[in-house]
Structure formats: structure tokens, C-alpha cells
Amino acid sequence: MNINILAFGIAKDIFGSPVIELELTNNATVSNIKYLLEQRYPRLKQLSSYMIAVNNEYALPEDTIHHHDEVAVIPPVSGG
């Protein structure tokens, strides 16, 4: 399945776009997404940390992704 990945802050700069498409197998996990992203965008590994959000919630590495999920890369937050 193809999943759109939203990007914010520095992740948007690294991707060069506010959204990219990733091709995933059906049982793909958050971990798998991070691996694929880091393969394609090695600069992600230089961040202090980053999280994946699924449907507007922080996701765990073992969470699996479903077809209509909204997936986003969340670099270190700095609001306030």
C-alpha cells in the first residue's frame, strides 16, 4: 500500500516537501517506516530524536499501519 507521510518543522526541510509517499507492505510497523525514511533521508538520523504520529497520536515502534491512517513525522517539538 502507498501511505502519505506528513512532515513538519525540520522534517519538512529534510524531505523538501510537506508530504511524501511511501510504499509499505500490509503489516508495516512504525519501526519499518522509520527504517525506510532513514534509508531515503539519512539526515533524519542526525536529529536529537523524532516520533511517528498515527491518526494524531504518538505511536509506538511496534504499532502497525493501516491503509487510511494519517501518518506524520514529528521532530523534536519547540512550541511555547
Partner 1 sequence: MNTEIKILDTPLDVAGCIDWVMSPDAGGIDVFVGTVRNATKGKPVVRLEFEAYEPMAIKELEKITQQSFAKWPLIRVLVHHRIGILSVGEVPVVIAVSAAHRDAAFDACRYIIDTLKQTVPIWKKEIFEDGEVWVAAHP
Residues that bind partner 1 (CB under 8 A): 6, 8-10, 12-13, 46-48, 53, 56-58, 72, 74-80
Q: Given the complex with partner 1, which of 18 and 61 has the nearer CB atom?
A: 18
CB of 7 to partner 1, least distance (A): 10
Quickly count helices (H) and strands (E) in the chain: 2, 5
Q: Given the complex with partner 1, which of 27 and 49 has the nearer CB atom?
A: 49
Helix/strand/coil for 24 = coil
The DSSP H or E segment spanning 57 is strand 57-58
